Chains A and B, each alone.
Chain A
């Protein structure tokens, strides 16, 4: 009891900062009744929700794989300069989301972009599902490098030598030693990447994704703040509730898996 007293300020803060908006969101989403939630599971709203989940899943898995290989290459390179450079760059790029990132890509691969001109890409290449996934990977991969590099550092060279002494191949080593140890980090990375892609708004908005690739965050913005829709505020709140439920679902899958894999580390 005494110990939890020290956490009281934090608990009060969390209660205020998350509790009040959460209550307001749920209350709004259910006013009046279930109509708003039902609407969010139809037509364009459902399409947006599915698009967001699909895009975030693709970005999370691709970002995790690419980020892990990149981090492994850097960690094993034994070059301190390279390591420092990549980690610092990752720290910057992981936060390089939003409008600047969107314009960076539009200037490069957009319809009048520098590189699209050189490659002769058809117009609209960047403004598609895979175009947006590519843009999202630009902050997802560095984020994964930051998350997974410490875990890769934790793999002791002695384990590998011991495995080799016992006649294990590289594949055996990774299958039975490396990957099990890395699993919590990898899973955590995937969940983190999924979350950041799922919640991304400014990048997609600046790229005009709302017109070709409806995403749930863009639909919320249209419902809450625009010049056209009136009386859709509670639909926006219902969409937010959908997002919370999706995030909760991802956590529900992640937590038991993570608990299982951390057992190996004890």
Chain B
């Protein structure tokens, strides 16, 4: 009797039916590279066996995610279940925590920079290095591969040229009296990542630094005092209706609006202001407890292949491999040329700088623009 039980439990321990194993006996959930599977082909095989991929917070009209999802499904025959496309980074992290061990937990995440840092610290992500790992610029990836920047853009000023006449080119321009009540952000910088970037860019324009977001808050206070600040949260609808004729937002979103509105007779112009160059990338990570660990890793490989990177570019976003792809000629040049030109180079904040900025903003923003 005891012997029989031992055999049964030993068998259970040896081969749990739900875990994907590679030929070499490596568990897919702990594989840190395609090589661990015995190459990309074997990874594809393992992922196909799982059959599904759970994603969260990927809006189809954001950075071309609709097409990316479609292409991945077609290429590998893996069904993507996309949940709550408009969720925020905080919602993604919540889903990982509250659905731990469940079959419907998200496999992969696309989060804002602050959440890349905090999630890695909390041990929520699985380390994984994609095949193109070495080409990803330093400072754009966690050294252990817990997260990797995926795509991003620059803070830009979008402007409805038919309504405005002379479009502002710099942050300094925004203070001119002709823009009364016209300058909007994409939300509250304590909540929206792009508004947060907007304040930081303004800070750089006003003599602040990555260590000090304060001058940016002062800039918006000034903007409010001269009556130019428009509190309406800019969305495609408010831009189209002229409610937010000047909108500080990521260049890929503003550029997307331009494409969308051209056929409707709107001339929405986008510039990256040369006095406040601020770029920010979103980060990609794998849930440590992903229910489909192999599919999650294949998704990463797909996103960081030339094909995946060019798909983001098609959505107007700058993929993280853009420098190396420009060098080796795999970038889609026609798409790259469509991006608004940037004079100068962006620097990326460190974890401490991000934390300092968001804490400072939580304390100072409301008092500066309230009233």
- What is A's interface to B at a CB cutoff of 8 Å? 42-44, 47-48, 51, 106-107, 110-112, 122-124, 127-129, 206-214, 218-219, 221-222, 224-232
Contact = CB atoms under 8 A, between A and B. Distances in A.
Nearest to B119: A230
Interface stretch (B5-13, B42-50, B333-341, B359-367): B359-367
Contacts of B153: none
Contact of B90 (A122, A211, A224): A224
Contact of A228 (B180, B189, B233, B238): B189
Contacts of B370: 47, 51, 212-214
A229 B114 contact: yes
Interface in B174-215: 180-182, 184-185, 187-193, 196
B158 to A, nearest CB: 16
A124 B118 contact: no
B181 A211 contact: no
A106 B371 CA distance: 18
Interface residues of B, number: 48
A212 B225 CA distance: 12
A123 B180 contact: yes
Nearest to A110: B243
Interface of B: 87-91, 93-94, 111-112, 114-115, 117-118, 180-182, 184-185, 187-193, 196, 224, 227, 229-233, 238, 241-243, 358, 361-367, 369-371
A111 B239 CA distance: 12
A259 to B, nearest CB: 39
Contacts, number: 131
Contact of A44 (B192, B230, B366): B366
A49 to B, nearest CB: 11
- A123, A124, A227: residue with the most chain B Cβ atoms closer than 10 Å: A227
Contacts of B241: 107, 112
A25 to B, nearest CB: 16
B369 A47 contact: no
Nearest to A230: B118
Contacts of A225: 87-88, 90-91, 94, 191
A124 B243 contact: no
Given A226-B89, A229-B114, A230-B118, A44 B181 contact: no
B362 A209 contact: no
Given A214-B366, A229-B190, A230-B118, A123 B182 contact: yes
B191 A44 contact: no
Contacts of B181: 111, 122-124
Nearest to A206: B233
Cβ-closest 8 pairs across A and B: A123-B181, A44-B366, A226-B191, A227-B193, A210-B188, A230-B118, A214-B366, A227-B112
B89 A222 contact: no
Contacts of A207: 231-232
13 contacts: A43-B363, A44-B363, A123-B181, A123-B182, A124-B181, A208-B188, A209-B231, A212-B369, A221-B191, A225-B87, A226-B192, A227-B89, A228-B191
